[in-house]
Structure 1
Amino acid sequence: MRRYWKVLFIFGLQLLAASVHAEQINVNALRYWNTPDQTQMLFDVTSSPEHRVFLMNNPSRLVIDMRNVNVKRALSQPAPSHPLFSQVRVAAKNNTDIRIVVDLKKDISPKSMSLRTNSMNGRLVVELLGKAQDATVKIAEKEEPRITADKMSTVKVSDVKPVVEKVVKEESQKTVNRKVAAAPVEVTKVAKRDKDIVVAVDAGHGGDDPGAHGQNGTEEKKITLAIAKKLADLINEQPGMKAVMVRKGDYYVDLRKRMQIARAAKADLFISIHADAFQDATVKGASVFTLSNKGATSEAARWLADSENAADLVGGVSLNDKEDVLASVLLDLSQTATQDASVNVARKVLRNFEQIGELHYASVQKAGFLVLKSPDVPSILVETAFISNPSEELKLINTAHQSKIAGAIFNGVRSYFSKEIPTESKVAVLDM
């Protein structure tokens, strides 16, 4: 009798699996987005489909195969002005699968562009990325670090210290050798050096991610871009400083890629601009965030787990030829210095916000925001106001108040860099 029920149970599971498999995934819509270095197709889907994407030549086509998928309505076509896509065709396969063929306006190859897909939150995103840009931002996904907490607990400081001192000595000697032939440093109030201070300015959200909405329909993505442009103008007007806009228009940039763009630009500071929202419309005020210790720990594990990251530079020292423990120590030193600098600049920015409006938090806050996780670029996130508050929404859409917000951020940044000059930077005297 027990065997009978066991067979019946297994049979029931098979029927359930078959019914789940038979329930097709719906593709409800297709949208297109372009950025300076990538082209995206965004499929609205009811759940993540199994898929494969590849390129074909003669003629040039992008092919997307999806399993167990149904297209509910005709997919939208790319605009005639689209730089790469000509038209999109859909064909059924095996009564359950579909093939989407995108005719391309020019020949591309794996050498010139790379393909990437991302499936989450009811979207399947297919991206074509230029190889030059992709090389600076590609990060492999792995779950476990090379070095575990158990291994770290067995390491003595006395064992690591001589190796760290050796690496620091070697890197210092390299720096000395590079500077032997250099001309004497000219000194005014601060030393003038070889490069501009670079500030990466990140306008939150963008493209199909509008961010929060005000009661009058104001979109956060538009406010953040307007303030970011004003802040960039102030930075570029300051001798010895240069702004790099993470996004320059209304398109979405992946959160991790935002900090990678900053690192690729060798930024000395990363500023992400947002406008907060809450269910209670009376809540108001500005806030400034830096990375939490938990967020830093998780990012350290990711870097140490990834051979591509390990080959990169952290604090000017390459990790790819270092022992696991030493790499972990060097990364920790870099992160600690970065977090200290982030808190320092965040305090100065927050102090300047007191002069233009209310503060939601009177002290610097810590959170695990992904855009703040660069281990060697000091990073802050500024919540300029609550767009969900009607009075603050009106201020946020006012260009004069946007300029005040940009000015408050800039004055905090300028105050920080007047005392903390990055190595090899050239800075004119900062009039305070």
Structure 2
Amino acid sequence: MPLELVKGGLARMASFVCGRVDWRSLGCSVLLGLFCSAASAVDILGGRIWPAPDHTRLVLDLSAATQYKVFTLSNPDRVVIDVKGAQLKGRLALDGLEKTQIDRIRTAPRGTGDFRVVLDVMRKTAPKSFLLQPNQQYGDRLVVDLYDQDKVPADEVVEVVPDVEKKRVDLTEKRDLVIVIDAGHGGEDPGAIGPGGVREKNVVLAISKQLDALIDKTPGYGGKLTRTGDYYVGLRNRTKLARKHNADLFVSIHADAFKKPQAKGASVYALSKRGATSETARWLAASENRADLIGGVGGVSLGDKDEVLAGVLLDLSMTASMKASLGIGDEVLQSVGRVSKLHKKRVEQAGFVVLKSPDIPSILVETGFISNPVESRKLNSRKYQKRMAEAIYRGLQKYFQVNAPVGTYVAWQRDRGQEDGFMAYKIQRGDTLSEIAKRTRVSVAQLRKINGLSSDSIQIGQVINIPAS
């Protein structure tokens, strides 16, 4: 069978690729994939390319799990993938190479009964490979992640995302309040799949981008996204990104699913005590974590502390973060409840990995059940995605208007008003004067008098004064 040219060029190296090869004479610079499961005849059904900011993911769809080898060659630089006992069904059409370090892809069967895929790369590349089991959307898969050789991750790679330049507001030189927004799943991981093929990864990315835009245009706030496109970011890497950006809050956006389509409603989660305890132990055991900071910007290093003191400091930090998470989660839940039915009427607690930053308040918002036909249609609607983002935004803003960290512009603005005996409050959708009075423990009559209101009527965006006490 002739060599198939997937991208440009002639079939150079055809005799090498198609002929019998003495593996010991190849001069491999890296041998990563070892035979990793029982061999059987398998079909390569297709493939996909997922360009991410710091690596390229190649996915081959297989009819069953099989053995494989991945290694590199130089002069010219190539990544070679040999799939044991495999044959290509149809055509391996892989688009989007122009955004990657891959120049072209060549394929051919080998005399040993294997199937070879050769990636001609434009620079030295360090591949990492593994098999994935079937999920809702795909069957068995072979995944090869291509990193530049000088940027290969030792354990977990921290995705590089476009940084958002910190805004400076007024002439106060107070820092922005930084909120990291995490769109769940992505790339080869579609998340839950609803009726009509609605994918969680697409829904939550759309909501996250809407939320990021709302946050970033608000004076004193800065938004960051853990992913900006359709690619996967590891769970621990999402929290690493929050730490990299010195986040004041981490918000992970998801859409729930259940085996019964009747399940419905939004939920908000914070970290459970059990999850916090296990994470404390993990941090204390890891030397790279002990040397890290707790307490956010200008926090405390654990590297020079003995075991007991480090444990106490870390436990205090985790306890404070969990308390803040529950407070933020409660405001977000109430706000989301004005645009969606709630699955649970209080903030739930669970051991989600993405909630386990010891010094960053973190919440996970389940925006609805994508497995419910009615909610799936809503979640796939741009109008509803915007409403959900606005609801989450209002909850966050309501919390931080009272609890903004010291040193931020939002806290400075609040404290400046308190010096005059008042605190400025911007009316949000769903606010009523009586509800504000109840929340701030001030009478409605007093609020009307302070603000010169002739009635209880208020408008979204209106700013009123509330007694600072």
For 2:224, the equivalent position in structure 1 comes to: 244
**1:374 partner letter:** S
**1:32 partner letter:** I
For 2:53, the equivalent position in structure 1 comes to: 36
* CA offset digits 1:41-66 (Å, max 9, x no partner): 22335337464544x43222223456
- For structure 1, the residue ranges without an aligned partner over 5 or more in a row are 1-19, 140-187
**CA separation of 1:79/1:353 partners in 2, compared to 1, >3 Å: closer, same or farther?**
closer
C-alpha separation between the residues in 2 aligned to 1:51 and 1:304? 37
Alignment of 1:166-181 (within 5 A): none
Task: State the secondary structure of the residue aligned to 1:250.
Answer: coil
User: Is 1:400 the equivalent of 2:383?
Assistant: yes
Q: Residue 387 of structure 1: CA displacement?
A: 2.0
* TM-score after normalising by structure 1: 0.73
Alignment of 1:211-360 (within 5 A): 211-315=191-295, 316-360=299-343
For 2:14, the equivalent position in structure 1 comes to: none
C-alpha separation between the residues in 1 aligned to 2:95 and 2:147? 18
C-alpha separation between the residues in 2 aligned to 1:250 and 1:423? 36
Q: Residue 284 of structure 1: CA displacement?
A: 1.5
**CA separation of 1:426/1:128 partners in 2, compared to 1, >3 Å: closer, same or farther?**
farther
**2:129 partner letter:** T
**CA separation of 1:31/1:217 partners in 2, compared to 1, >3 Å: closer, same or farther?**
closer
- For structure 2, the residue ranges without an aligned partner over 5 or more in a row are 1-36, 134-139, 159-169, 415-423, 427-469
**CA separation of 1:117/1:301 partners in 2, compared to 1, >3 Å: closer, same or farther?**
farther
Q: Residue 236 of structure 1: CA displacement?
A: 0.8
Q: Residue 216 of structure 1: CA displacement?
A: 3.3
Task: State the secondary structure of the residue aligned to 2:191.
Answer: coil
**CA separation of 1:361/1:87 partners in 2, compared to 1, >3 Å: closer, same or farther?**
same
- Report the aligned-residue RMSD: 3.0
C-alpha separation between the residues in 2 aligned to 1:297 and 1:50? 40
Structure 1 range deviating more: 407-416 or 295-304? 295-304
For 2:433, the equivalent position in structure 1 comes to: none
Alignment of 1:140-151 (within 5 A): none
**CA separation of 1:271/1:33 partners in 2, compared to 1, >3 Å: closer, same or farther?**
same
Which of 119, 144, 163 is matched with 1:102 structurally? Answer: 119
Structure 1 range deviating more: 335-344 or 92-101? 92-101
C-alpha separation between the residues in 2 aligned to 1:263 and 1:216? 37
C-alpha separation between the residues in 2 aligned to 1:21 and 1:330? 49
For 2:144, the equivalent position in structure 1 comes to: 126
* CA offset digits 1:93-151 (Å, max 9, x no partner): 783766543101x2236xxxx54334442443322346669589549xxxxxxxxxxxx
C-alpha separation between the residues in 2 aligned to 1:347 and 1:133? 40
**CA separation of 1:78/1:281 partners in 2, compared to 1, >3 Å: closer, same or farther?**
closer
Task: State the secondary structure of the residue aligned to 1:302.
Answer: helix
**1:128 partner letter:** L
Asked if structure 1 preserves the Cα contact closer than 8 Å seen for 2:38 and 2:66, the reply is no
**2:100 partner letter:** P
Asked if structure 1 preserves the Cα contact closer than 8 Å seen for 2:251 and 2:365, the reply is yes
Asked if structure 1 preserves the Cα contact closer than 8 Å seen for 2:87 and 2:114, the reply is no
C-alpha separation between the residues in 1 aligned to 2:355 and 2:265? 21
User: Is 1:117 the equivalent of 2:129?
Assistant: yes
C-alpha separation between the residues in 2 aligned to 1:118 and 1:333? 39
Task: State the secondary structure of the residue aligned to 2:228.
Answer: coil
* TM-score after normalising by structure 2: 0.67
Greater helix content: 1
Asked if structure 2 preserves the Cα contact closer than 8 Å seen for 1:48 and 1:120, the reply is no
**CA separation of 1:129/1:298 partners in 2, compared to 1, >3 Å: closer, same or farther?**
farther
C-alpha separation between the residues in 1 aligned to 2:142 and 2:291? 31
**CA separation of 1:77/1:359 partners in 2, compared to 1, >3 Å: closer, same or farther?**
closer
For 1:47, the equivalent position in structure 2 comes to: 65
Q: Residue 91 of structure 1: CA displacement?
A: 6.2
Asked if structure 1 preserves the Cα contact closer than 8 Å seen for 2:182 and 2:225, the reply is yes
* CA offset digits 1:191-235 (Å, max 9, x no partner): x66321111111222223222233233222222122111111110
C-alpha separation between the residues in 1 aligned to 2:384 and 2:103? 43
Asked if structure 2 preserves the Cα contact closer than 8 Å seen for 1:199 and 1:242, the reply is yes
**CA separation of 1:80/1:93 partners in 2, compared to 1, >3 Å: closer, same or farther?**
closer
Q: Residue 34 of structure 1: CA displacement?
A: 0.8
For 1:3, the equivalent position in structure 2 comes to: none
